[in-house]
Copies of this chain bind each other. A is one copy, B any other.
């Protein structure tokens, strides 16, 4: 399916999509957040052919999203666990969820919902500037720059060239 590799793209969206790979991959990540760790659990949940699931898990391990550990019971089956990089995919899952909730369900239709541990709903994600103002698409520009040298990971911020 892939004709062009985007792992060297200067657009972070393109590079993220390249690293995530495809559609099934985010469902594996969703299931990992739900506590699934074993090949058989992912397979039952997703109804995916074993060779395809195996390839997707291998890719997620290679990309540092999951880590593979020996089975806790000493058995032959390894388990798969989200890394910190994998855990940070959570915002993408919520963005997908909220769009799906809004546009792909009829009123009253059966749907999984999310709550926090005190049963409060989750706030809607929105695009704000650093001053906390909500931005419309027209307010946003995409320009050339560089990744900041100052910081990494969770708190990393980009800066202009």
Contacts and interface: CB of A to CB of B under 8 A. Distances in A.
Instruction: Summarize A's interface: helix, strand, loop or mixed.
Output: mixed
Sorting the interface of chain A by its residue count into under 10, 10 to 19, 20 to 34 or 35 or more gives 35 or more
Nearest to A26: B17
Contacts of A131: 120
A19 B104 contact: yes
B104 A96 contact: no
B92 A114 contact: no
A132 interface: yes
Interface of A: 1-4, 7, 10-23, 26-27, 30, 33-34, 46-49, 52, 64, 85, 87-118, 120-133, 135, 137, 139-149, 152-161
